[in-house]
Structures are given as structure tokens and as C-alpha cells.
Amino acid sequence: MHIVDRFLGYTAINTTTNREAGAAGVMPSSPGQRVLADKVAQELIALGLTVAVADNAILTATLPANVAGDLPSVAFFAHLDTSAEHTADTHAQLVSYEGGDICLNPELQITLRQSEFPELANYVGDQIIVTDGTSLLGADDKAAIAAIVNAVAYLQAHPEIPHGTIKIGLVPDEEQGLRGAKAFDTERFGADFAYTLDCCGIGELVYENWNAGDAEFVFHGASAHPMSAKGKLKNSLLMAHKFIAMLPGGEAPEYTEGREGYYWVKQMQGNSANTVLKLDVRDFTEQGYQQRMTLLDTLGKSCQALWGEQSVSYRLSDRYSNVFNSLQGENRYPIELALAAYETLGITAKPIPMRGGYDGAVLSQKGLPCPNLFTGAHNFHSIYEYLPVKSLEAASAVVIEIVKLTHARFSR
């Protein structure tokens, strides 16, 4: 099966993550994720792998080594779900790109414009997979699944290529707090190192991401009828707004880039009596992250002192840490293998700090060193998401090359 047909088959399954179900503890949060896991499981079984799909849709698979020796086992990960920004079914289409704009949907007048997405110019003469403008494409992260399965099919078709044990992991609900990775049993899985495929354009390589935390503040006011509110009404909404005003100016997502951290006021809900405020905290350095969490703790205590201890309650928690912390010293070799694979294939490596999280950050914290490789897609979480075919093929080629280089490095 051609990699494009494989990918298009995956996009036909709606795997939109369901935030409400996820918040209630359901995993997978949407039934399509289990459908996709079962489909991929059957494909891998047909290729000769040992496969298991758990009740929570976590898929694990093993391709045994075809050579003797004590080689490390390498794993490749992808996630099953797509983001909740758009929930409609995907109607993917393959276009031959000759430059300029791409009309995604003539009826709805939805166009992928080169003026807005100038990187399109890099793909003139290529075939590009796009949507009809009414949904996400789902290349985040079905392109990864297609690239991994295609690589396994290639290796099985070429038994002359020596390799150690290869493992595959597919996890649900990455798009809502890396839930699948957090539930993944790395010890039982048994891999020595791993890669996720969950970043964008060809050549990108991630081995830095946020130290990430969550903050929830609850402001407890006192309600009263406005006709007799003087001296009685204590408006929790205004308390929350005053708290927000105390955050450092300019340190928000819309004002930052690169390695600049931020506080993201993500959600506020309530009334004059009670208001819940939720924030995301992000910083690339451990010191910067701890300083941000300390500031929030200080602000919380200051508000308690100002309005009364019972007026403000809050909770600060860690979500995931910078994968860079887990890829140093003797654990750096997965980065070196990825860079060598890119070079062998003539792909210019573009290491980038990811202003977000990915499953590999959680897996690395669990003792499974895990950088992040490109899928080749652009504009994740958007109806303008697109996937150049040559980039998708290159992602699969990188997987194959890493397998080859692992044998070459550790069979000496």
C-alpha cells in the first residue's frame, strides 16, 4: 500500500478528542480513536508484528530483531487523536501544486493562500494533501502513523536490512494534556529509547520543550442584591480581574516567542459569588519555571492577606518538564542518531524549541529518552493544515534510517 493511500485511509476515521469525556476520565475520549487503533493493529499483524490494543486504546507492537546480538530496542510513537478546534469529518484531497493559492472549497470560497502561508513556495511541483476547508486534516498525528507503518512494511519487504527489536506505541488523547502518554507503561513496554513523530515541516527536530504547569485559583466572594449591596457585596469576578492585573505585563502567549516563557490566562468562569480562574505556566528553563510558580504562590498568599484567607483558594501543579533534561550525557545518543539520519538522507536538520508539549516529554520523564521527529505537515490545528507528499515520504525514510544507524552503531 502506498503511504498516501495509507494516510488517507486514516483520515477517514474521525478521532477528534472529546474534552468533556476526557475531563470525566474517559480514555479514549472518542470512539474513533479505538477504531483507528484496531485498524492499525490489523495492518501491523498482517505485517508479522505482535500487537496488543488495551481497553484505553493504547496500542503496542513489536517487530523482533532479525539479527543476533545485544542491540538496544528502538520505539516509534504517534498519537491517535486530533485536536478539538474542528470536529467535522475530514474530506482530504490530493492536489498537484504548481504555485499560487489552493482553492480548498469553491462552494464555501475557502482558499489556502500563498500570501498567508509563504512556505507553500517550497513545495511547487509536489503533491500536497489538503482538506476541503471544513475540518482539520489530521496529519497531526495520522501522518506519523502512516510514516511508521510504512517504514515497518518496507523493513519487512527488505529482510536483508539488519535491525534490532523495533517497537511501536500509539496513544490516545495527546491533545488534552498528553493523557495517553501519562498512562503508558514504559517499563513493561521494554524499549531502550524512542522517538515521537509529532512536529511540523521537513527537517524539524525537537529536543527542547516547555516546563509546564497548571494553576487554578478560586475566588470566593459574597453575593447581595444590588439595592442593598453596599458594604455586603464582595464581587469575586472583580477579585479575579485584579489578580490578572497583577501578572507581569507582556508575559503572555500573544507577546512572546522563541524561548520566552509566559503565563496564559486560559479560562475564567463564575459569577459575583464564586469565580474559577485557570492559567497555564510555561518556561524553557527549570529556574524560570520555578520562579513563575513561586510568583503565583506569592500572589495567592498576598490575595489571601488582602481579602481574607477564605477568599482565595488555589492549586499549583506540574504538567510535564522539558525533555532536554532527559536527553543529556549518556542519553543524548537518540539525538545524535536522528541528526545522522537527516544528514544521510540529505535533509537539513532544523532543531527547534517546541512551544508546547508532546508525548515524548512524558515518556522521557518515565525513563524512555524520546526526541521528536517531523511528520512534514504544516498548520496543525487549522483548516489550512496541509501535508506535502515528499515530506511524508521523508518522515518514513528517517524512521528506516534510524533503524539502520542503530544497528550500525551498536553492533560493533
Catalytic machinery residues = 81, 174
Say if residues 289 and 211 touch (Cβ distance below 8 Å). yes
198: annotated binding-site residue?
A: yes
Tell me how far apart the alpha carbons of residues 391 and 120 are, in angstroms, rounded to a whole number: 12
Say if residues 138 and 387 touch (Cβ distance below 8 Å). no
DSSP 389: H
CA quadruple 251, 319, 18, 199: dihedral positive or negative? positive
126: annotated binding-site residue?
A: no
Say if residues 43 and 146 touch (Cβ distance below 8 Å). no
CA quadruple 161, 166, 172, 173: dihedral positive or negative? negative
Between the CA atoms of 132, 134, 135 and 137, what dihedral angle is there, to the nearest 10 degrees? 10
| SS3 of residue 211 by DSSP | strand
381: annotated binding-site residue?
A: yes
Tell me how far apart the alpha carbons of residues 377 and 384 are, in angstroms, rounded to a whole number: 11
Of the candidates 315, 237, 238, 328, the residue with the CA atom closest to the CA atom of residue 286: 328
For residue 15 the three cell numbers come to 478521532
* Binding-site residue set for Zn(2+): 79, 140, 175, 198, 381
* Binding-site residue set: 79, 140, 175, 198, 381
